Chains A and B, each alone.
Chain A
Amino acid sequence: MLKSALKATILFALIAVTAYLAFYYAPIEKSMGVIQKIFYLHISCAFSAFVAFGTCFYANLRYVFTRAPKSDWLAVSAAEVGLAFISVVLITGPIWAHPVWGIWWTWDARLTLTFVLGLLYVSYLLLRSMIEEPDKRALFSALFGIFAFLDVPLVYFSIRWWRTQHPQPVILGGPGSGLEPRMRVSYLLMWGALTGLLILLLSARYKLEALRASVDDLRREAEVR
């Protein structure tokens, strides 16, 4: 309890420092101006979201082959945490896009993929809530999760090919390419901090799921008696 509180405090401090760095240490981007600051949070959250969904896929596969409830707990935790991160991405994206491109939303491959990915994992969680029996819930949601994850590259490429034939706003200076050194430091720190946040959230959610499962077991046993 104390340990996790300590971890959370350290992480909070780290995020505060990186936020400070992003705003005051890193220079203001020439063409986009101050709005570019959102990039640090946006990209890092997107990264965390994809790592979370990757973890979910791994846990789904593992569940199907081992049937260990732990894999199921990891899968649901990863899906929920991934959805939290992807929500941040979907909120910060338009905030960034509007001043820069002049529009809130564009059906660009990455944006659309993020959106569809979000939808797929909302369906995943909905499906879980619709199956009562724990083993069945774990198995069938895992199988859906596997199919959903396989769809990710297909969605990405279909939208990319589709969009190349239609006019679309140019994304200014692809991030990552030739970042200014102070920007790079701020970005890497933010990335590290949010990866830390991902791990913290994931482990907290995992523990909650483990507790939930044992409560569920106890309740079922009590009902039989």
Chain B
Amino acid sequence: MALLADATTLLGKELRTEFRSRELLTTTVVFILVVVVLFSFTFDPSTSESRRFGPGLLWLSFLFAASLMLQPCFLREQNNDTLSALRLSVRDPFSIFLAKLSANTLFLLLTEVLMLPIFAILYNVHILSVFPQLVLVLFLGSLGVAIPGTAFSAISAQARMRELMLPLLLLPLLTPVLIASTEATGALLEVNPALRADWLGFLLGFDLVFLTALWLFGEYLLEE
């Protein structure tokens, strides 16, 4: 219970600081927008072509955006050594990760949902009828990005060239998320949309594996 209470308190802190400055959200939205627009020049974005390539490019842009967005997650805590203050205060160090990965998932999901209508218009695909299902896929996928992403942002914060290190560590590991999310999104954008329970189950499995790993090894990630 202390875990959840602490995590909630910390999540409040994360949300408050972000919504006060909105630095991460605005830059990420603009970044994804730029990528999605640039991608449209690489093929003819007609409805049928977009169905083939759209989901993949959408998820690729989300992944790249995430690897940038997760960058300051732990770096910020180094500025004033606030990470030490957190470590001294919380009863379970996992609450720090729980709060951060919830915040990151939320930020990712928010930017993705904002991007969906723009994507639909630019690429001539219909999303209105399957919007809730799409959000479910986005949620499970973003969780899959945010869990290892939060862990690795603690790792890359310790390294030189950290801006490059995080994508290098994170992106190969996210291969399964990219495949599963792209397939699930693609199935929803088909002429006869289908909710692919198998891929959603796979994403859920991925999320659980890394959440467990984070729970087991999180406290070591916070060591100095």
User: Which residues of A pack against B, CB within 8 Å?
Assistant: 64, 116, 119-120, 123, 126-127, 130-132, 136, 139-140, 143-144, 146-148, 150-151, 154-155, 157-159, 161-162, 165
Q: Among A146, A159, A165, which residue has its beta carbon within 8 angstroms of that of B213?
A: A146
Interface contact A64-B217, CB-CB below 8 Å: yes
A148 contact set on B, CB distance < 8 A: 173
23 A/B residue pairs, CB under 8 Å, sorted by A: A64-B220, A123-B169, A126-B168, A127-B159, A127-B165, A130-B159, A130-B162, A131-B158, A143-B221, A144-B155, A144-B169, A146-B213, A147-B148, A147-B152, A148-B173, A150-B209, A158-B179, A158-B180, A159-B175, A159-B179, A161-B198, A161-B199, A162-B179
Interface contact B172-A161, CB-CB below 8 Å: no
Known contacts A158-B179, A158-B180; A143/B210 CB under 8 A = no
Known contacts A130-B159, A139-B220, A147-B151; A123/B168 CB under 8 A = yes
Interface contact A155-B175, CB-CB below 8 Å: yes
A120 contact set on B, CB distance < 8 A: 172-173
Interface contact A130-B160, CB-CB below 8 Å: yes
Residue of A nearest to B205 (CB): A154
Distance between Cα atoms of A151 and B198 in the complex (Å): 18
Distance to closest chain A CB from B166 (angstroms): 10
Interface of B is mostly: helix
A136 contact set on B, CB distance < 8 A: 158
Interface of A is mostly: helix
How many chain B residues have a CB neighbour from A under 8 Å?
Answer: 31
A127 contact set on B, CB distance < 8 A: 155, 159, 165, 168-169
Known contacts A126-B165, A140-B158, A154-B206; A147/B213 CB under 8 A = yes
Is B176 interfacial (CB 8 A cutoff)? yes
Nearest 5 A-B pairs (CB), nearest first? A158-B176, A130-B159, A119-B172, A154-B176, A158-B179
Is B81 interfacial (CB 8 A cutoff)? no
Distance between Cα atoms of A150 and B208 in the complex (Å): 12
Known contacts A139-B223, A154-B206; A146/B179 CB under 8 A = no
Interface contact B210-A150, CB-CB below 8 Å: yes
Distance between Cα atoms of A132 and B152 in the complex (Å): 18
Interface contact A131-B183, CB-CB below 8 Å: no
Residue of B nearest to A61 (CB): B217
Distance between Cα atoms of A175 and B183 in the complex (Å): 30
B179 contact set on A, CB distance < 8 A: 158-159, 162
- 4 new A-B contacts, CB < 8 A, other than A147-B213, A150-B213, A159-B175, are A127-B159, A130-B165, A131-B158, A146-B213
Is B161 interfacial (CB 8 A cutoff)? yes
Known contacts A123-B169, A123-B172, A162-B183; A130/B202 CB under 8 A = no
B199 contact set on A, CB distance < 8 A: 161
